[in-house]
Structure 1
């Protein structure tokens, strides 16, 4: 394992930070921000992209630090896009507004600053000290406690040196947006003919009349937060999916609608007659997989214990919910852990339904399958589940057995984490771009809210083909078959970035679009064939130590695309170093590396106290490589590396 003290690593050398270069700045009132402007401040560079659920988690982790150290700390978001749509400056501006980012954001569409700081994953955090030197590199989420300690150390050090300057930073608040809806997420039809919308940007539910304009009522105070209670006092936090329970189940459960309260990491129940909101599952603590599972290295124990009490269970960014008649339970797209969960509204039981928790696209049995930020769910007439798997730009199907258990996972559309595009035709060659919603059409085909392509697509399971039903939409995040209008059914689309719902007729003839297939454009690392050393740096924060009570608490999981790239060194094992053997006959590919480390409160060399708080650090990297005789023979990554 790799563990060093903060002091010894930081004292070894200092590296001057590179200038911040990009296309534009947001949240600065139009001003360009330089490192000289930030001198005297502790700076956290947050390399993010707005599609990434882990990046959104980090935004929320950083908010308390922004508040606590508002005079000493400046956070700078460096937006380095993964998808083509994310390079659109208007889309970025909308995302900065949507996620209520209260610090400067550098628009870095060409990944100039990303490369200057050797970022390799979303999210990556780089800490700069008040003199402009790099103090730490961190990857992934879960670093809030360690950052708090490090910031305190830097304040003490630079206050003593006279190099700390307190005062306001360069943030300038943008004007507030008016309107009944603000970045709506998901919608359902109610039995009274109205529609219930997750008004994510206002942190509430809105019931709309059939004209899609008239507000019948709102449920929720409209202020970000968490509170149960009546429609005027309840609070949500960036809620997303919602679903109606069958009347018989609702009568027993005592509520009619289940809401995925995403940033609160909870499931909430709503009684429609009164508008009363209650919490069904989730303790508000985000699940970062399971530290017990990681430190025990039980990689085969995919369906780990989630806790006996639903209100004591940790969830992670539930994004959509759907009722399963075959299972007799609610199915939840748990975007934050890249899994599908189930929830029984009558017993309160929470369980893993499918997915190991590893991010990616892997089919097979439920216990072996990988998902990537699943964000939309719908059941078809056969009782099988269709999933909009956004980060792999994929549509997946979970086939259920006769008992309602997940039997197998299949990919209908999609190729991998870094493959996307706008291409119709045969499903194996078709491409989407970060879809967030799905619904089943009367003929059994599946309509897809192809969010970043601004389109609604159609997948025909019989012919295994993809076509386009509509385009020119502004980030459609959900799609619903609407039979409430006269004549043929139409599609009801949540057009998130236009802050509205629109009806789109089902065309007699679908479009066929081919704007090509793309891959995320990141620089490829030249590597030499043969032996290749992987080293992941991890330094536990001050006040924590690696949890070695059950053996080595660190773990690496390594694979490649294509599989033939790795001749040796793949798989899962303890430790943060590994020697790979790269195939000289493969020109290029991607190394997929997942690192984990479990640490608990306690001092190095001492015992971990009973009931100490424990923390799991994890990051997934996809490293594009090209084989080159003069290439690198090793790769060093930072899970938590200090300079």
Structure 2
């Protein structure tokens, strides 16, 4: 594109984790201005790319995230910051609640990265999150002619008002059994096995972000998310490593079924070498009839991995971010998150679609149960045709009743949907939940990952009591 002088950042921007700055103050450095949304998996990947490049071109490249809300819940600055931190963002971030900067810079899609040279000229506009190579080529060209950065610019960015140190950090996926609770402690890059009173029995993963198989104390995860338990195998959607992992509970070891640590286009077929196959932000897993079903938030499709033949194949979804019913590639999802399965039916929590979908596994036919489109959301209870969700993150089925429990993250609530044509209902809780992103049902209780509060809760189905689970306190 032809170079033009970049407009200045609006004064109305609310800086979330860093002192306010202007583009004029950044003269002499390359600025990557990233317009992102905290609910978007594509934006999370682009922010990760920029963090890698900023470390590679330290002092010469300065990346700034401009968060633009999609959902009503994201208009609140603290909620926006929580969403960014949940995805691992460590860049300075500003909140554009009223889309002022979005309009001033002529942005029309998430994510969009604007590269501004050392003289304040807008040199590149890169839309989407396809690959790191194009972005790095543009950054490298602009950085090539810069002088050596001053020593102050070589110091790493330290966030203002960081998250408090707590036993859990952004917990997400949960699995509950009659006597155990498994927690994906995403921000601490580990998986915990606990009893129902919260005592940690085993920790899987070193607690640092890495990608390593082996014994429980030497294995490593990166922002693990969804969990699924079958006998002595705990399957993990290792979102940050773009991998499907397995924990053998009998031997306390971790191995990789597929995924190479980098986001990429999955390849259909028999997997002979697990780390030769890329995945794209696996979010949740569930096992049905010896198949591990994977919701792939990065490519908006549902995949399956056959535990016998080791075949990976797409089951439904066109790859486009959309909501469309149909079979196989004729269907479309809007960032599928949570999964649940019973008999020959897979249920999908469609996060950006604010929807719950069903998928009949015999023909991979997708039908919408609740949800009216990617820009239609709310908190209304009632019949499925008029009920509304807002950015739900997880679902779970009661083992002894046709009831689905929904972690309605955007509304900060726990919802129920009675299967077989029933209505959507909000559970009466004593308080609003803070960004719930995990839910499981066992032992007469619903276990809730209150993700933004770094907590796990127990809701007693019979009494309605809500209590804190003191994990490793």
TM-score of the aligned structures, taking structure 2 as reference length: 0.91
Q: How does 1:179-578 map to 2 (within 5 A)?
A: 179-190=166-177, 193-211=179-197, 213-245=198-230, 247=231, 256-288=233-265, 309-325=273-289, 328-380=290-342, 382-401=343-362, 406-441=363-398, 442-471=400-429, 472-483=432-443, 489-506=444-461
Distance (Å, rounded) in 1 between the aligned partners of 2:164 and 2:136: 33
Aligned to 2:102: 114
Quote the offset at 1:436 in angstroms.
Answer: 1.1
In 2, Cα distance between equivalents of 1:360 and 1:507 = 38
1:147 counterpart residue number: 135
Q: Distance in 1 between matches of 2:96 and 2:132?
A: 25
DSSP-derived class of the 1:419 partner: coil
When residues 468 and 230 of structure 1 are mapped into structure 2, their CA distance, relative to the original with a 3 A threshold, is: same
Which residue of 2 is the match for residue 524 of structure 1? none
Residue 15 (structure 1) aligns with? 5
8 Å CA contact 1:187, 1:494 repeated in 2: yes
Q: In the aligned structure 2, how far is the partner of 1:188 from the partner of 1:267? A: 16
Q: What stretches of structure 1 of length at least 5 have no aligned partner?
A: 1-8, 251-255, 291-303, 484-488, 510-643
Shift of 1:190: 4.2
Runs in 1 of length 4+ with deviation above 6 angstroms? none
Once the two structures are superposed, residues 118-141 of structure 1 have per-residue CA deviations (whole angstroms, 9 ceiling, x without a partner) of 111111111111111111111111
Residue in structure 2 matching 1:51, options 28, 39, 57: 39
Indicate how the Cα distance of structure 1 residues 97 and 408 shifts in structure 2: closer, same or farther if over 3 A, else same: closer
Partner of 1:537: none
Count of aligned pairs between the two proteins? 459
Greater shift after overlay, 92-101 or 457-466?
92-101
- The within-5 A match list for 1:79-118 is 79-118=67-106
Deviation sequence 1:343-385 (CA, Å, 0-9, x none)? 11222111112112121100011231001111101113x4311
**Aligned in 2, Cα 1:265/1:379: closer, same or farther, shift over 3 Å?**
same
Give the Cα–Cα distance (whole angstroms) in 2 for the partners of residues 234 and 183 of structure 1: 20
Deviation at 1:309, TM superposition (A): 4.6
Q: Which moved more, 1:354-363 or 1:464-473?
A: 464-473
Of 138, 162, 174, 2:126 maps to 138
Counterpart contact for 2:126–2:135, Cα < 8 Å:
no
CA shift for structure 1 position 80 = 0.5
1:27 equivalent to 2:17? Answer: yes
Taking the aligned partners of 1:346 and 1:306, their CA distance within structure 2 comes to 10
Tell me, in whole angstroms, the C-alpha distance in 1 between the residues paired with 2:171 and 2:100: 33
Aligned mates of 1:309, 1:158 — CA distance in 2 = 43
Q: CA deviation at 1:32?
A: 1.6
Instruction: Check the 8 A contact 1:204/1:222 in 2, yes or no.
Output: yes
| Pair 1:319–1:66, CA change in 2 (3 A) | same
Distance 1:22 1:226, change over 3 A: farther
Cα separation, partners in 2 of 1:266 and 1:109, compared to 1, 3 Å:
same
Distance in 1, matches of 2:79 and 2:224, equals 20
SS at match of 1:421: coil
Rounded Cα–Cα distance in structure 2 between residues aligned with 1:306 and 1:109: 46
| CA displacement at 1:36 relative to structure 2 | 1.9
- Structure 2: segments with no counterpart, 5+ residues: 465-473
